[in-house]
């Protein structure tokens, strides 16, 4: 028979209980689902408008919240019933809470980065695709009052339009201003493109603007 040497622990490590094994499995699934959710959120945020990742988030977030609640309930119940022999019996609960806090901070960081990326500047607008302009236009309208613009300022800030028409009134027709049309792509409407319309009068002052859905 083997005897314990001096200084050797006389405690025998208990095998993991069924509850502990279940908690470990649930935690692995939870952490994997959390990472998946963060990846989905990243692509949903930067995908410009509705996309498949938005719908995937709608499915995974409630399931992830439910799984987190289940882990916490099982963990606390197991501790109270002395079914958990870990040195830190509430570690699963802290992991769930920590993952939730990290996810929240990740979302805030992604939102801040998106806002910085799509804050309007003349340079960003000039290089942007029509889909990117559909986001930049909101920032543009927040920063500037188009009613104070004239023809020269419209071109200075937004560049040459995708379409431009001369407006005429009366008979015989007389010059009444310009109609500028900027293509905003399909982000706002998946079926038809969206346009940013601007009209000026004969004096060059902006008298009308609108984001138009076709």
Do 110 and 143 sit in the same domain of this protein? Answer: no
pLDDT band at 16 (very low <50, low <70, confident <90, very high): low
Claim to verify: residue 164 and residue 209 sit in the same structural domain: yes
Residues 141, 186: one domain? yes
Domain extent at residue 150: 122-213
Shared domain check, 159 and 89: no
CB atoms within 10 A of CB 17: 14
State residue 82's pLDDT score. Answer: 72
**Higher per-residue pLDDT: 167 or 11:** 167
Residues 100 and 138 in one domain: no
SS3 category, 206:
strand
**Is 193 strand, coil or helix?**
coil
Instruction: Please state, in angstroms and as integers, the Cα–Cα distance from residue 133 to each residue in 106, 123, 175, 186, following that order.
Output: 25, 12, 30, 11
- Residue 89 reports pLDDT greater than 90: no
Looking at the predicted structure, is the pLDDT value of residue 58 above 70?
A: yes
pLDDT-based confidence at residue 15 (cuts at 50, 70, 90): low
Q: Look at residues 117, 148, 168 and tell me which one is the last residue of a structural domain.
A: 117
Q: Give the mean pLDDT of the chain.
A: 89
Which one, of 49, 192, 40, 43, lies nearest residue 131 by Cα? 49
Q: How many CB atoms lie within 10 A of CB 37?
A: 20
pLDDT given at position 87:
76
Q: Is 211 strand, coil or helix?
A: strand
Domain count for the chain, please give it. Answer: 2
Residue 134 counted as domain residue: yes
User: For the chain, how long is the longest CA-to-CA vector?
Assistant: 117
Q: What is the pLDDT of residue 66?
A: 97
pTM of structure: 0.74
Nearest to 14 by CA among 93, 84, 88: 84
Rounded Cα gap, residues 44 and 47, in angstroms:
5
Grade residue 8 by pLDDT with cuts at 50, 70 and 90. Answer: very low
Query: Is the bond into 6 cis (omega within 30 degrees of 0)?
Result: no
Q: In terms of domains, do 65 and 93 share one?
A: yes
**What would the two tokens of residue 176 be?**
């009444």
Report, as an integer, the average pLDDT of 103-119: 96
Residue 113 domain-assigned (yes or no): yes
């Amino acid at each position: 028979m083997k005897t314990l040497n001096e200084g050797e622990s006389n405690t025998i490590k208990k095998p993991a209980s069924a509850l502990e094994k279940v908690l470990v499995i649930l935690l692995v699934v939870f952490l994997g689902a959390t990472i998946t959710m963060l990846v989905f959120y990243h692509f949903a945020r930067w995908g410009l408008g509705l996309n498949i990742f938005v719908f995937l988030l709608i499915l995974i977030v409630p399931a992830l919240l439910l799984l987190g609640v289940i882990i916490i309930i099982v963990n606390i119940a197991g501790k109270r019933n002395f079914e958990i022999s870990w040195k830190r019996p509430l570690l699963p609960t802290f992991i769930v809470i920590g993952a939730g806090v990290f996810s929240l901070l990740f979302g805030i960081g992604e939102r801040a980065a998106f806002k910085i990326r799509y804050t309007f500047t003349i340079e960003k607008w000039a290089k942007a695709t029509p889909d990117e302009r559909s986001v930049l236009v909101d920032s543009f309208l927040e920063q500037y009052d188009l009613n104070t613009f004239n023809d020269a300022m419209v071109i200075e800030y937004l560049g040459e339009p995708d379409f431009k028409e001369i407006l005429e009134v009366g008979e015989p027709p007389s010059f009444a201003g310009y109609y500028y049309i900027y293509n905003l792509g399909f982000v706002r409407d998946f079926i038809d493109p969206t346009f940013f319309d601007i009209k000026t009068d004969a004096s060059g002052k902006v008298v009308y603007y609108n984001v138009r859905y076709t």
